[in-house]
Chain A
């Protein structure tokens, strides 16, 4: 049985088939990239997994559990974290509190305990803070801890979003275009981090990406999509040579 599995996943908006009977599986500890032209349905698949959209049909399984009907907030509790294409950070909060929200799925304290800030809450907060610090160190975010998001440049925000996802200690992380808007240097950093996430933190990565150099560097396997359907699946080199993929990108 695969670690994560989508079976015949479909998302239809009226007559438009954004995702059309897509099936794929992610093995534990691998980096799987989804590529495809604009509007191929890549981000829609992510939004289906994190339950922002409800699939028209099909099932999603994670660790042999059917998560198709789980409410969106439970997806994170199961250990699936994500980043967004257009950065969805908490603009008017500091980097630290953004990252601490990432710890939300591990919070166990009750409202009345928090109102009194009992020692148990304080102890929990310190644990959260320590975990956050480990992620900050991992992603070199030390200079930004107390800065407001709204004052930070795009490249840093992108890393903070990744950091927030990592703070939840996910088993599976969904990266929606991790390199969009980054310069060459930042993209290099990103590719190292993605590989480190796999090797050091043992996170399984599912990634949507346009930058083929990044895809080639980090991916174990690649899925190519077009018009909501799977065109090809396999190693990065195989997929890029596949005639259907070439046709989709260059026009036949």
Chain B
């Protein structure tokens, strides 16, 4: 086990507490850089989605994880970013310009959503953000002169500084990776400066934050704006990756997927966003695989236990019918959320920390290390 001896205030400020981090993150970066030359095109495509989802995850963490303002409307922010990019593209605006414009516009809209949200907390804020997402979805479907309605919009291939960057090229992957890394670094910087601490203060006690001089309303709006802007940037990449966008891609289910990203990854650290993004992107092919192969497998098992071909066929078709039920995916997501909230509230990253500590302290690890003491009585009336 490593003991850190801090000898300088710099030790509390720097991003990597000790040199071991440089090695592990260096290796990770190297692996990510050689990935496009090693992995299959399908996995590369999944990796791009991981980058995009993780970027949105970081954005949502800023708002929900660190400022404590729940949002089920991030699909709408993603849509605004994507549609702004697609619209500006029609007028031959160059990529860097519409990339920044999409993020900026989404940030402004995020701030506008933040204002009415100032008076709402908890479940009411969730309802307000859902309504916002539904309104945006409806606008996208109806405002045909701009969004082309339900027919959707084609997104032209990205061209960066005169070079075309197809959506399955390594360059596009590096672009997404760069956006993710910059987002993470920027967020880490924010979290170690006064603004980030003000966010955390608002999350844990608005009353105390206010009495320490934090302008709670201003910082909530800032948090909304930053979170929305990052989601807008991710939206541009999302649009390019899909090369076609339509309103039904930005439904409530996508917002729920983003919530799953941070809930499953862990809401207390940026690692959570990345782990959660890997989980959510990889569970889809896994579910498809189950859907295709489960009926056959179960019928096979039934046959080995002596079921006749007719019964086996029956079982196969029943399972297949069940597996292709509408809304089954949503139900599975729901179950996953419930299980994680009940049994692993710190998420995958929390589990990773527990495993790490287990080996560091072996054989002295005790389960109670991560148990939190009950919070003492708080004066709710002062909200």
A residues apposed to B, CB below 8 Å: 47, 50, 52, 71-77, 81-82, 84-93, 96-97, 100-105, 107, 109, 111, 114-117, 121-122, 125-126, 129-130, 133, 150-151, 154, 157, 164, 168
Q: Pick the contact of B205 from A88, A96, A103 — CB < 8 Å? A: A88
B377 on the interface (CB 8 Å rule)? yes
B304 on the interface (CB 8 Å rule)? no
Q: Is the interface of A mostly helix, strand, loop or mixed?
A: helix
Of B9, B195, B196, B211, the most chain A CB neighbours within 10 A belong to B211
Of all chain B residues, which has the CB nearest A103?
Answer: B194
Of B190, B196, B226, B379, the most chain A CB neighbours within 10 A belong to B379
B residues within 8 A CB of A85?
379
B192 on the interface (CB 8 Å rule)? yes
B214 on the interface (CB 8 Å rule)? yes
Known: A122-B13, A154-B376. A89 touches B193 (CB 8 A): no
A72 close to B211 (CB less than 8 A): yes
B177 on the interface (CB 8 Å rule)? no
> Known pairs A71-B215, A101-B197, A126-B10. 12 more at Cβ < 8 A?
A72-B210, A86-B378, A88-B208, A88-B382, A89-B204, A90-B203, A91-B205, A101-B200, A103-B194, A109-B193, A111-B222, A130-B9
B212 close to A107 (CB less than 8 A): no
A residues within 8 A CB of B101?
none
CB distance from A175 to the nearest CB of B (A): 13
B residues within 8 A CB of A115?
186, 189-190
B residues within 8 A CB of A104?
194, 197-198, 201, 212-214
Q: Pick the contact of B216 from A73, A86, A117, A133 — CB < 8 Å? A: A73
Known: A101-B198, A105-B212. A52 touches B207 (CB 8 A): yes
Of all chain A residues, which has the CB nearest B182?
Answer: A115
Q: Is the interface of B mostly helix, strand, loop or mixed?
A: helix
Q: Mark B327-347, 1 if CB is under 8 A from A, else 0.
A: 000000000000000000000
A residues within 8 A CB of B12?
96, 129
Query: Using a CB-CB cutoff of 8 Å, which residues 365-379 of chain B contact chain A?
Result: 372-373, 375-379
B residues apposed to A, CB below 8 Å: 9-10, 12-13, 186, 189-190, 192-198, 200-201, 203-205, 207-216, 222, 226, 268, 372-373, 375-379, 382
Q: Which 3 A-B pairs have the closest CB atoms?
A: A76-B213, A107-B194, A90-B204
CB distance from A23 to the nearest CB of B (A): 23
Q: Complex Cα distance A92/B373, Å?
A: 11
Known: A73-B216, A151-B373. A90 touches B200 (CB 8 A): yes
A111 close to B195 (CB less than 8 A): yes
Q: Pick the contact of B213 from A47, A77, A109 — CB < 8 Å? A: A77
B212 close to A101 (CB less than 8 A): yes
Q: Pick the contact of A84 from B198, B207, B213, B375 — CB < 8 Å? A: B207
B13 close to A84 (CB less than 8 A): no
Q: Complex Cα distance A129/B205, Å?
A: 22
Q: Complex Cα distance A129/B9, Å?
A: 7
Q: Complex Cα distance A87/B205, Å?
A: 10
B9 close to A101 (CB less than 8 A): no
Of all chain B residues, which has the CB nearest A49?
Answer: B211
A97 close to B200 (CB less than 8 A): yes
A121 close to B212 (CB less than 8 A): no
CB distance from B54 to the nearest CB of A (A): 18
A150 close to B9 (CB less than 8 A): no
A168 close to B213 (CB less than 8 A): yes
Of all chain B residues, which has the CB nearest A85?
Answer: B379
